[in-house]
Amino acid sequence: MKTVRAYGFTSRWRIGTVLLWLVLACLLPGILGVAILFAREYLNGRAQLERDMIATARAMVQAVDSQLLKARTVGEVLSTSSVLARRDLAGFHRRAREVVAVTKVGMNVVLSDEGGQQLVNTLREFGEPLPRHGNPEILRRVLATGQSVISEVYIGGVLHKPVVSIDLPVILDGKVAYVLSIGLVPDDFNAILAAQRFPPGWVSAIFDNTGTIAARTHAPDEFVGRKGTLEYIQRIGEALEGSMKTVTREGIPTLSVWSRSSVTGWSVGIGIPREILERDLMHTMTWLSLGLATLLVIGLGLAWMAGRKIAASVRALTAPAVALGKGQLVPVPEVSIQESAELAAAIGQAGELLAARTAALLAANRELAQLAQVDALTGLQNRKSANERLRLEFLRLQRSSNPYAVLFMDIDFFKEINDTYGHETGDQVLRHMATVLTASLRQTDFVARYGGEEFLAILSETNAEGALTIAEIVRSSVAQQAFPGARQVTLSIGVAMALGEDKDEESAVRRADTALYRAKEDGRNAVRSC
């Protein structure tokens, strides 16, 4: 073995020898560590899976609530329709069909009288004979309380299959004149289940507030409309979310989790057959152990080969690396392991400096991008982002004639809110307004804070009638909200369609702004178009 003197002492160790001893020293404690790691991995994997499933169930419940509450919002808008005030049932039939077609919320709209007789059903032509309301108990609750009700799963009077309805009172002359119902079918909820793309064998279901199955991934025709297991109904009544070992209606032992909404009382359950769970986890652990053992064996061989190659590379690169720092080029000398350590330290310091600078640059770029696109107060997109989206939609309109509409919205009497309650309350109103707008608009719509108390929404692929309907839904949703720190807050909205003959994307915005001023002049809390 060649001896090399460096920095005042003699080194007799080579990189290949050090690597071999290092791998051998790690082998024995590594085996023990693998055994401990596998045991912990199995337990942690099981616990993490339960947490992930509960989080998924919680998100699905929120999607179910959103579906139900959107339907209720549509029903509230329809219940205050002017055609109902005139008792124009034929006109209401046409209006209801248009709203269902535009909003894509619900299957149908039903209008029933106090005796439970259906007067309008958008699944039938106006004037055709109609049955009585399929859930007279819900009808009585609405008539007695004058409040909207989300029904349990029941058999519909027209479809004769399981349905859910959101039933609302129609108040005329100070009393409940009709009951308006927005009908939902299991297909409206099946999309929520399908979107999760659960692995084969997993069972998931949506339950109403009585524990009746409203949608299910497996055998829905057999189980929708039937109660969940007694154990499931009991457990969801005890806690909003959790996990348990149970047996499905088909008799399959599962690890099940659930999450129940505190708003609607509906819940989502997800079950993994225990056979699949244990098989998958053990399969993973087996492959991990085999892989680690293989890597350790291969490591011994690679360490010997890599040691020889690394030693030669280090000897060749140490002097050039030092010379590079001095701006010099020198021949590659033969060096010992001490010089290799010096090279590693030099490269490490350079790498740390480069990594720190790169991380700082990336963080600064991310912060600049965030500041450039997002309004700091409301979390909505800002005016710059809105102008970019307007330009994109205008170019799309010019190229493919895809229609879009612009909503220009302004909070009524916002200066008085600031003057009366202070700017902190005004900021709270703006933040809450952003939340209401995001919830009221469709997922495909774009909304931004355009400046001060002004907001701009861009409705892609929307015609004039649809834009007015959506604008009215937004206005009504805002008017019905309780804003923090202030009394009722209202919104004036100007609506304008982008036209193919427009000179630029600002033309539709200017028309929407003109319509907004008309809404202000007409008394505010109104929707006007131009």
Q: What is the pLDDT of residues 54-91, one digit of tens each?
A: 999 999 999 999 999 999 999 999 999 999 989 999 99
Confidence (pLDDT) at 503:
93
- pLDDT of amino acid 352: 59
Torsion of CA 151, 154, 156, 157, to 10 degrees: -100
Domains contained in the chain, CATH given: 4-43+298-365 (no CATH), 44-297 (3.30.450.20), 383-529 (3.30.70.270)
Q: How many Å from the N-terminal Cα to the C-terminal Cα in the chain?
A: 92
Question: Per-residue pLDDT tens for 359-390?
Answer: 766 765 566 666 678 999 999 999 999 999 99
Give the mean model confidence (pLDDT) for residues 97-122.
Answer: 92
Residue 37 confidence (pLDDT): 75
Distance in angstroms (rounded) separating the CA atoms of residues 456 and 434: 11
pLDDT of 380: 95
Mean pLDDT of all residues belonging to the chain:
85
> Hey, how many other C-beta atoms are within 10 angstroms of the C-beta on 333?
11
**CB under 8 Å, gap of 24 or more: what pairs does 139-142 form?**
139/112, 139/167, 139/179, 141/167, 142/167, 142/168, 142/169, 142/176, 142/179
Residue 269, SS3? Answer: strand
Of 268-272, 300-304, 305-309, where does the model show the most confidence? 268-272
SS3 351: helix
In this prediction, residues 255-262 reach a mean pLDDT of 92
Contacts of 408 (CB under 8 A, 6+ apart): 450, 454, 456, 493, 494, 495, 496, 509, 512, 513, 515, 516
121: phi then psi, degrees, rounded to nearest 5: -145, 115
Other CB atoms within a 10 A radius of the CB of residue 35 amount to 11
Structure tokens that stand for 427 in this block: 């900021």
**Taking 60 as the threshold, does the pLDDT of residue 521 lie above it?**
yes
Query: Please, is 331 exposed, middle or buried when counting C-beta atoms within 10 Å of its C-beta (0-12, 13-18, 19+)?
Result: exposed
Which tens digits make up the pLDDT trace of 473-486?
999 999 999 998 87
Strand-pair partners of 273: 254
DSSP 458-506: EEET--HHHHHHHHHHHHHHHHT---TTSS---EEEEEEE--TT-SSTH
Q: What is the DSSP letter of 403?
A: -
User: Average of pLDDT values for 299-323?
Assistant: 68
Q: What distances in angstroms separate CA 214 from CA 53, 327, 373, 398, 462, one per listed residue?
A: 20, 74, 41, 45, 32
Q: Are strands 491-497 and 527-529 parallel, antiparallel or unpaired?
A: parallel
What is the reported pLDDT for 344?
47
Beta strands in 192-301 (DSSP E): 203-207, 213-216, 241-247, 253-260, 267-273
Q: Report the distance separating Cα 457 and Cα 441, nearest Å.
A: 9
Residue 449's pLDDT band, with cuts at 50, 70 and 90, is: very high
